[in-house]
Amino acid sequence: MSSAPLTPPPRQQERARSTRAAIIRAAAGVFEDHGYGNTSLAAVAAAAQVTKGALYFHFASKDALAVAVIEEQHAIASADGARVQALGRPALETMVLVCRGFTLQLIEHSVMRAGIRLTFEASAFGHDVRGPYLDWAVRFGELSRTAQQDGDLRPDLDADAFARVVVGSYTGVQMVSNILTGRADVIERLADLWTMLLPGVVGADRQERVPQLVALFRDGPSD
C-alpha cells in the first residue's frame, strides 16, 4: 500500500489553478453586475460552472472571493504598470502611459471593473482596501519627482500632491464616465483631464509637450 503523496501531482495542481482562475473570472462578472451585497456564492458557482463544493474548496466565503478579485485586479494593474516602466520612457510619459494601460485593461477585463466596484463597497466586508491606492500614489510620487528632475514638471510643484491629484482625478473621471456612458467615452474624458491638468504642472519651457502627451495618452506610443 503506497502512502498518499505530500503534494498533488502536477496535472491535478494545474487543474486546481485553472478552476480557481475560472472562479475568479466568473465572480468578477457577477460582482460587477450585482455588487457585493447582492452576489451569492450559488450564482458564482453557476456562472463558473462548478459545484458549490468546488467553489468552497477554493474560497471559504464570499469575503475571500471578493478579496481574490481585488487582488487579481491589483496584479493585472501592477503587471501592466511594470510593462510600461520597462519601455524606459521619460517619467512623465510613463505616468501618462500607465494611465492609458490601466484604462485599456479596465475596458477589457471584467476583473478590473469588478475590483474597482468592490473596493468602493469594501467597508461592507471589512477589508482594508487602501493598499492599491497607496501603492499607486507612491509609484506616481516617484515618477513625479523624476519628471521634475527631468525638467518636465515645474520645479515648484509638490510632486507627491500631483501624484495624489492624478490618482484621485483619474479614479473619478473613469467612474463618472461609467455612470454616464458605461465607460464608452472614458478615453476622451481622460484625454480632457490631461489636456486641462498638464498645462498647470508642466514646466513653462515645456508647454509644447502638452498636446504630445495628450496624444500619447489617446493613441499610445507610435514607435
At 38, the amino acid letter reads N
10 Å CB burial of residue 31 (0-12, 13-18, 19+) is buried
Site string for a copy of itself, 181-210 (x = CB under 8 A): --------x--xx-xxxxxxx---------
Minimum CB–partner distance for residue 46 and a copy of itself (Å): 18
Minimum CB–partner distance for residue 22 and a copy of itself (Å): 24
Q: Which stretch binds a copy of itself (CB under 8 A): 13-21, 47-55, 70-78, 122-130?
A: 122-130
Q: Which of 152, 170, 213, 217 binds a copy of itself (CB under 8 A)?
A: 170
Contacts of 199 (CB under 8 A, 6+ apart): 207, 210
10 Å CB burial of residue 18 (0-12, 13-18, 19+) is exposed
Residues in region 35-64 near a copy of itself by CB under 8 A: 35-39
Site string for a copy of itself, 74-113 (x = CB under 8 A): ----------------------------------------
CB 41 within 8 A of CB 55: yes
Backbone angles phi, psi at 39, to 5 degrees: -95, 130
Give, rounded to a whole angstrom, the gap between the first and last alpha carbons of the chain: 63
Contacts of 150 (CB under 8 A, 6+ apart): 90, 91, 92
Q: Which is nearer to a copy of itself, 64 or 87 (CB)?
A: 64
Q: Which is nearer to a copy of itself, 20 or 114 (CB)?
A: 114
Number of residues that bind a copy of itself (CB under 8 A): 46
- The footprint of a copy of itself (CB under 8 A) covers 33-39, 117, 119-121, 123-124, 129-130, 133-134, 157-158, 161-162, 164-165, 167-177, 179-180, 189, 192-193, 195-201
